[in-house]
Amino acid sequence: MYDVDDDIRYKVIRGKYNEDFDLIIMEPLSVNCMSYLSSTLNLPIIYDVIPSPTITYAEHTFTGHISNSAVVSNLLAQRAVPKTFVQRVANTALLAYSMLITVYDEWMLRSTDQRPYDLSPKVYPSRIFQNSHYIIESSRPVLPNIVDVGGIHLKPPKSISQPHGVIYFTFGSIIQLSSLPEHNIESFKEAIANVPQKVLMFYGNMKVK
């Protein structure tokens, strides 16, 4: 909607655009803000790839479903899976707080600056594509209209140049190799020394060949 002419966008939002559409595709943030457009145009809506795992505090807004907070960690939590009783209670409290604050913010906006789209019926998406997958995320129950497309943002791998090429070894931006115990670092070096490729290893603030 941001790439079209303002006049066309206005007509579409007001339901006065005469061209035919098949569906609406959008990427949501944390609120269901496109129900008005879907209801006005009488079209199904598809949520394009959500760049993170399930947005737990907005899940009910998107699908009408709430994941069990005893086994499904909140997106804002610091752990992948709540295991202890205290962690599960804290996870439940975090879910309740994040949902309540979202509902409160929406209520405040409707009360202080009500717009026509605030009165439109809520339309749930027909399909949701999310950048997640059960092999990289903790298992969780999902609705049939949610499709995992984990890794869709990754580019196809290219072949290594002849004769052997180069391997760049890193743990990413989360873990620095220099933070590991020395015997673990030596184990990595010994294993890497057995491959025929030249290896560039990211080691903290410096690169070691």
122 contacts 32 by C-beta, under 8 angstroms? yes
C-alpha distance from residue 133 to each of 29, 104, 130 (Å): 20, 32, 8
pLDDT at 99: 85
Beta strands in 18-89 (DSSP E): 24-26, 45-50
Domain spans in the chain, listed from the N-terminal domain onward: 6-148, 166-208
For residue 29 the two structure tokens come to: 């943030």
pLDDT at 161: 65
For residue 4 the two structure tokens come to: 């079209």
Q: Using the structure block, give the residue that is written with the tokens 């145009």.
A: 41
pLDDT at 135: 78
pLDDT at 14: 67
pLDDT at 110: 79
Cis bond leading into 125, ω under 30°? no
User: What are the average pLDDT values for consecutive 10-residue runs of the chain, which has 209 residues?
Assistant: 60 67 79 75 80 71 82 82 91 89 82 76 83 78 83 75 76 74 84 84 61
Kindly state the DSSP code that residue 114 receives in the 8-state scheme: -
pLDDT at 88: 92
pLDDT at 181: 81
pLDDT at 15: 63
pLDDT at 118: 72
Q: CA 64 to CA 190: how far, in whole Å?
A: 52
